[in-house]
Amino acid sequence: MEKMKFENLVAWQKAQDLTAAISETRAQFPVEERYVLSSQIQRAADSIALNIAEGSTGQTNKVFRNFFPYPIRSGIEVIACLHIAMRRKILSEESFSKLYELTQEVLKITTGLRNSIKDE
């Protein structure tokens, strides 16, 4: 079976790593956050990978490039959620730092991918 275009993108692969790390961390969130912050951070992390995949498939380079504000905004949302979790004392400094760095890496790679795509 041939892979889809997005499956070969490092940005998508790293976004998959982030969503898995967020999912593991959510298990530590208190029950009262299950439908609030816990859900929001997971949806934002998932959105990065989903938008990279959606934008890459069956699109011109110009359309694909224009799709990148969505995963980048979702990455910023993840970082904002991390700060909220830290202020609510849900995350340890170690967990915060690990997830923050991983999110920054995803954003850097995603931005680099966006900048490397040339309009046709």
Q: What is the pTM of this model?
A: 0.92
SS (H, E, C) 8-44: HCHHHHHHHHHHHHHHHHHCCCCHHHCCCHHHHHHHH
| CATH number for 60 | 1.20.1440.60
State which amino acid sits at residue 36.
V
pLDDT in tens, 8-43: 999 999 999 999 999 999 988 999 998 899 999 999
Q: With respect to residue 36, please indicate whether it lies within any of the assigned structural domains.
A: yes
State which amino acid sits at residue 87.
R
- What total number of domains does the chain contain? 1
pLDDT in tens, 75-115: 999 999 999 999 999 999 999 999 999 999 999 999 999 99
Q: With respect to residue 54, please indicate whether it lies within any of the assigned structural domains.
A: yes
